[in-house]
């Protein structure tokens, strides 16, 4: 199975990475793990996803508010204050307001989701997130029937974010989903990785994760969620509309204007790792393809 959701947590779900991998090696045999490594870390032979290491996940990042280099966020994001943190939920909701992060957490059920993560730049990882379903948060605020879209906004705090001095994007970083995408049970707000709080460079204290879409849809360090009846603007679409559409579903058949999306390079795959084929909707087509019935996916890229 490519992911787990709504599953009962097993002991493995709360096992630290090192113990988890050791136990896998014991269970599957060291040779099995080695073979999986050679074939490209992450594609274990039994079809189970092997997560990337904590090191891979937390040191190779995109968080342009802290610089555009992959190593900039881990270097610079430590300055971001994440406590206190409030999320404003407004627009077409019954209970608009500024919700304290702790209050949100006390009302949400956190579970582990091991998801593939595919960046539009053609690298990928497998990440064991901890988080809760976005639909539960939206239910808390009460979505009005006129709402059709959900808009998200990242913190904008120039004194703590060296990257926003540069007009790489129109700050603050904004993203959006159609309401049915936002309510899909695969869509989560992540608050941790490997059972630990989300590090700043990964979007602390809470960030969106939409596993069937390119990584840039998974907006970090969210401070505002707005329910609207019109399609919201999104940062990468505003900056290069020909290259980044509103939907941005992972699709190996629709190339980026400047590179192929047919394959991906697994971060941490090692010297011998070959590019792997990219899967339609990042391997989640069975769950989400029906959201796009009747739509031309090349046109609505």
Binding site residues, ligand MTE, CB under 6 A: 61-65, 119, 154, 173, 202, 215-216, 218-220
Rounded Cα distance between 301 and 242, Å, is 10
Report which DSSP code applies to 267.
T
Residue nearest to ligand MTE (CB): 215
DSSP-assigned letter for residue 8: P
Q: What's the CA gap between 66 and 74, in Å, rounded?
A: 9
Give just the sign of the alpha carbon dihedral 266, 204, 282, 70: negative
* Cα distance between residue 217 and residue 136, in whole Å: 19
In terms of Cα–Cα distance, which of 226, 35, 18 is closest to 137? Answer: 226
Helix (H) or strand (E) holding 117: strand 111-118
Contact 154, 65 (CB under 8 A): yes
């Amino acid at each position: 199975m490519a992911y787990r959701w709504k599953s009962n947590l097993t002991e493995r779900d709360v096992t630290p990475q090192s113990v988890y991998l050791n136990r896998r090696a014991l269970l599957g045999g060291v040779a099995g793990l080695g073979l999986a490594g050679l074939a490209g870390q992450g594609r274990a032979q039994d079809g189970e996803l092997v997560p990337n290491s904590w090191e891979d996940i937390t040191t190779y990042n995109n968080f342009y508010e802290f610089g555009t280099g992959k190593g900039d966020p881990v270097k610079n994001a430590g300055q971001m204050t994440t406590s206190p943190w409030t999320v404003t939920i407004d627009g077409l909701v019954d209970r608009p307001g500024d919700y304290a992060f702790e209050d949100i957490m006390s009302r949400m059920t956190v579970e582990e989701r091991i998801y593939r993560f595919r960046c539009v730049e053609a690298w990928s990882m497998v990440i064991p997130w901890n988080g809760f379903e976005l639909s539960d948060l939206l239910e808390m605020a009460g979505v009005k029937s006129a709402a059709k879209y959900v808009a998200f906004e990242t913190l904008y705090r120039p004194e703590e974010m060296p990257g926003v001095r540069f007009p790489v994007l129109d700050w603050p970083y904004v993203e959006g989903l159609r309401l049915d995408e936002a309510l899909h049970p695969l869509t989560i707000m992540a608050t941790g990785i490997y059972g630990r709080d989300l590090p700043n460079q990964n979007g602390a204290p809470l960030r969106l994760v939409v596993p069937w879409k390119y990584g840039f849809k998974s907006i970090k360090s969210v401070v505002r969620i707005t329910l609207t009846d019109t399609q919201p603007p999104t940062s990468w679409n505003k900056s290069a509309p020909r290259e980044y559409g509103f939907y941005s579903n992972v699709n190996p058949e629709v190339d980026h204007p400047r590179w192929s999306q047919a394959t991906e390079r697994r971060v941490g795959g090692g010297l011998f790792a070959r590019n792997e084929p990219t899967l339609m909707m990042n391997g989640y087509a069975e769950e989400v393809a029906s959201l796009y019935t009747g739509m031309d996916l090349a046109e609505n890229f």
